[in-house]
Chain A
């Protein structure tokens, strides 16, 4: 499996692409709800705020909202909306991902939703596996240690942690892998 990843990474490195780093080539499609004839006519009322992270695959998209349906007064709707958001903050969809460390006998699992940014995540990783991650720089990746944190994104590609905005990372991260040694160096050299 490792070999496969290597190959993928190597190919990745040489592939030419359009688009910003961190984005996939494949367009992100949002499946549309079935539009009823009336949907076009009515403007949407306040739309349900299901995911502020803009993850198309995270929550099923709702149908276009019909004005005044269901028949609940705005005061009540707004009041309860706030409650739902409040609750979501507490019980957000948890994002558990497997974390593997090269050379470690078993994998771990982490909940990404509890972290607000890379710094917290990296500190947690360092703590969990008792190692030190180097300093991140866009140009050279993680310098100053033999480890590099990587993740597999939705497309199956292995990416270096830290390149894309946190929210984008949190949405697209499927698993984490702390690379070590030559592989890690190989990765940083390529960048």
Chain B
């Protein structure tokens, strides 16, 4: 269990979807015009030295370069190397085996396969994050189809596909299974559009499948029992994650699969799996490192057999367990069974478990090594104080609301935040939903937790001020950008004036991702940010009073960004057209919430713009207008 694990979204503990993905550097499709295609190199193999009998001197250099470049794994380094000269560009392209496409519409599949002919692993991201919250109309795009069609021919040896917020069909999955004989890892985060038939195709045809991860992905149950489709005999499965899949599961088939998967380390079950069934799996797979427990309860009245099950022993036999999640229908009386393994835990996800303060305290007191904790606010400030007292090593905390509403009494507040800041000085990432907050607590956190990289505070009541002083939350967020020198991701909320944005622009020099909602007074706010934050990559804004003047103040920067999202702000079509004119390589999409109508001439519902090498996409639905 290494530190590095956390910084790879694809290896993240729970939901890679909700992790910071910004540790990865943005993939820049090279801004200068593309160089000519590489020379025919069909005779070249990876072990070049063995193959070429009489190299010219520059061929020797190229061979050496190939060997050297293979040591470059970080994307940013590879991008830099490719810009040195044409020869380096070519060689780097030939040796790049991992391709990262941060925005599926920034470049066409053909262009990728032409430039990088020997790819084994591909990461593609589609929809912007605000689409998760229903702010983007359905069927906007991000289809995997064109990608799998092109890659199916170009990359027969492809081993790994990681997709985030993409739409796939069963046919796409079938094509994937048919095209890639050595396919090993399929990770689908926040995806949708397919059903159990597609999964069945992958299960049955990908004989070397190691990883099947469906975190936060929607799967339609079309009657096919995909678990039964894995081939007979031993499998190579190391990771099977389907905790959010709302489909019934053939338990006998699952049990049989677990038994014949000796390499299985990560298993995350959905809530259809009862605690009794979990027991049966755990005793067969005691070497699991990551476990998602499924329901951790049972819907029916207790089977008398259940009472004989010694859950405590079953779990304590799992000596390697470091990451625990699930508890989807938890019955608190079973929680003591996991107390014995708590001391080993590095990650604990209770964010679907409505457990009260006392139960939580009994559990958390054992978790002294915990580094990552996700909980519901049902644990209350008191629960967070218990966390602060025990989990001195905590790096990441997420507190989700049980009751995601405005105007209700919230069980967590500035008290919890203050406690965490005092007890967990190594904190690097926090996501905190609450109903009330004070500047003082946020300032305290900025002082106590200097290692913060991600700070996301969601005060659920819109425009809520500091509930003790009545002041806007400007000073709190200002302190965060000022004092947390490593901060790269920020989400702000509460009553905020342009002053908050001035702070961000002035001090947020490393900020790459910024989320803004219901904040600011005028265009000046957005201007501060666009002019002040040179590293800004992803900017998502909703319901804030920023208009064309502010939009135009960022022209110098938009080519450096992954995307800009602005919904229900004060933009006009004219303003957006001006941006499109000034920056021809930017895809400027205007989305309309009204399905049937032509867009109202003036107001813009949603502006979504991103740099792109391929020009306007041809799969845009009716409600999208590309300028």
Which positions 376-424 of chain B face chain A at CB distance < 8 Å?
A: 376, 400-408
CA distance A33 to B328 in the complex (A): 34
Q: Does chain B have a CB within 8 A of A66? A: yes
Which positions 195-249 of chain B face chain A at CB distance < 8 Å?
A: 216, 218, 244
CA distance A80 to B403 in the complex (A): 8
Instruction: Pick from B133, B354, B515: contact of A72, CB below 8 A.
Output: B133
Residues of B within 8 A of A65 (CB): 405
A38 touches B404 (CB 8 A): no
Q: Does chain A have a CB within 8 A of B135? A: yes
B354 touches A71 (CB 8 A): no
Q: A69-B462, A70-B404 are in contact. Are A41 and B354 (CB under 8 A)?
A: no
B404 touches A74 (CB 8 A): no
Q: Does chain A have a CB within 8 A of B88? A: no
Instruction: Pick from A45, A71, A72, A75: contact of B244, CB below 8 A.
Output: A75
Q: Does chain B have a CB within 8 A of A109? A: no
Residues of B within 8 A of A33 (CB): 407
Q: Does chain B have a CB within 8 A of A57? A: no
CA distance A112 to B542 in the complex (A): 46
Q: Does chain A have a CB within 8 A of B568? A: yes
Q: Does chain A have a CB within 8 A of B130? A: yes
B352 touches A79 (CB 8 A): yes
Q: Does chain B have a CB within 8 A of A7? A: no
Q: Does chain A have a CB within 8 A of B54? A: no
Chain B: minimal CB distance from A76 (Å): 7
Q: Which residue of B lies closest to A65 (CB)?
A: B405
Instruction: Pick from A69, A70, A75, A80: contact of B354, CB below 8 A.
Output: A80
- Quick one: which of A73, A74, A77 has the most chain B CB within 10 A? A73
Instruction: Pick from A63, A68, A83: contact of B402, CB below 8 A.
Output: A83
Q: Does chain B have a CB within 8 A of A67? A: yes
Q: A79-B328, A80-B404 are in contact. Are A70 and B134 (CB under 8 A)?
A: no
A72 touches B134 (CB 8 A): no
B interface residue count range (under 10 / 10 to 19 / 20 to 34 / 35 or more): 20 to 34
Q: Does chain B have a CB within 8 A of A137? A: no
Give per-residue flags for B507-535: 1 if the beta carbon is below 8 A from chain A beta carbons, else 0.
00000000101000000000000000000
CA distance A63 to B407 in the complex (A): 7
Residues of A within 8 A of B376 (CB): 80
CA distance A41 to B600 in the complex (A): 14
Chain A: minimal CB distance from B462 (Å): 7
Q: Does chain A have a CB within 8 A of B173? A: no
Residues of A within 8 A of B598 (CB): none
B133 touches A71 (CB 8 A): yes
A76 touches B400 (CB 8 A): yes
Residues of A within 8 A of B328 (CB): 79
A48 touches B401 (CB 8 A): no
Q: Does chain B have a CB within 8 A of A87? A: yes
Q: Does chain B have a CB within 8 A of A62? A: yes
B401 touches A72 (CB 8 A): yes
B408 touches A73 (CB 8 A): no
Q: Which residue of A lies closest to B460 (CB)?
A: A70
CA distance A36 to B515 in the complex (A): 22
Please report whether the interface of chain A is mostly helix, strand, loop or mixed according to DSSP: loop
Q: Does chain A have a CB within 8 A of B433? A: yes
Chain B: minimal CB distance from A93 (Å): 15
Q: Which residue of A lies closest to B353 (CB)?
A: A83
Instruction: Pick from B132, B351, B458: contact of A70, CB below 8 A.
Output: B458
Q: Does chain A have a CB within 8 A of B543? A: yes
Which positions 101-139 of chain B face chain A at CB distance < 8 Å?
A: 130, 132-135
Q: Which residue of B lies closest to A47 (CB)?
A: B405
CA distance A186 to B59 in the complex (A): 114
A62 touches B133 (CB 8 A): no
Which positions 573-594 of chain B face chain A at CB distance < 8 Å?
A: none
Chain A: minimal CB distance from B135 (Å): 5
A67 touches B405 (CB 8 A): no
CA distance A84 to B405 in the complex (A): 13
Residues of B within 8 A of A41 (CB): 568
Instruction: Pick from A38, A71, A75, A77: contact of B458, CB below 8 A.
Output: A71
CA distance A161 to B404 in the complex (A): 39
B133 touches A69 (CB 8 A): yes
Q: Which residue of A lies closest to B408 (CB)?
A: A62
Chain B: minimal CB distance from A107 (Å): 32
Instruction: Pick from A62, A72, A77: contact of B406, CB below 8 A.
Output: A62
Give per-residue flags for B482-519: 1 if the beta carbon is below 8 A from chain A beta carbons, else 0.
00000000000000000000000000000000010100
Residues of A within 8 A of B133 (CB): 67-69, 71-73
CA distance A76 to B351 in the complex (A): 9
Give per-residue flags for A136-163: 1 if the beta carbon is below 8 A from chain B beta carbons, else 0.
0000000000000000000000000000
Q: Which residue of B lies closest to A83 (CB)?
A: B354
A73 touches B568 (CB 8 A): no
CA distance A84 to B133 in the complex (A): 21
Instruction: Pick from B135, B244, B400: contact of A68, CB below 8 A.
Output: B135
Q: Which residue of A lies closest to B463 (CB)?
A: A36
CA distance A77 to B458 in the complex (A): 15
Residues of B within 8 A of A76 (CB): 351-352, 400
Which positions 66-123 of chain A face chain B at CB distance < 8 Å?
A: 66-77, 79-80, 83-84, 87
Q: Which residue of A lies closest to B271 (CB)?
A: A79
Chain B: minimal CB distance from A62 (Å): 6
Residues of B within 8 A of A48 (CB): 403, 405
Residues of B within 8 A of A42 (CB): 568
A75 touches B216 (CB 8 A): yes
Chain B: minimal CB distance from A90 (Å): 11
A77 touches B404 (CB 8 A): yes
A72 touches B402 (CB 8 A): no
Chain B: minimal CB distance from A166 (Å): 27
B132 touches A84 (CB 8 A): no
Q: Which residue of B lies closest to A48 (CB)?
A: B405
B216 touches A73 (CB 8 A): yes
Residues of B within 8 A of A72 (CB): 133, 400-401, 404, 433
Q: Which residue of A lies closest to B435 (CB)?
A: A70
Instruction: Pick from B135, B401, B460, B568: contact of A38, CB below 8 A.
Output: B568
Q: A62-B406, A63-B406, A79-B328 are in contact. Are A70 and B401 (CB under 8 A)?
A: yes
CA distance A83 to B351 in the complex (A): 12
B462 touches A84 (CB 8 A): no
A68 touches B406 (CB 8 A): no
Q: Which residue of A lies closest to B376 (CB)?
A: A80
Q: A75-B244, A77-B404 are in contact. Are A68 and B354 (CB under 8 A)?
A: no
CA distance A74 to B216 in the complex (A): 10
Which positions 34-54 of chain A face chain B at CB distance < 8 Å?
A: 36, 38, 41-42, 45, 48
Pairs across A and B, CB under 8 Å, 17 listed: A33-B407, A48-B405, A63-B407, A66-B462, A69-B133, A70-B405, A70-B460, A71-B132, A71-B458, A72-B401, A73-B216, A75-B216, A79-B352, A80-B352, A80-B400, A80-B402, A84-B402
Nearest first, the 3 A-B pairs at minimum CB distance are A68-B133, A70-B460, A68-B135
New A-B pairs, 5, CB < 8 Å, besides A38-B543, A70-B460, A79-B352 = A36-B462, A62-B407, A67-B135, A72-B433, A77-B404
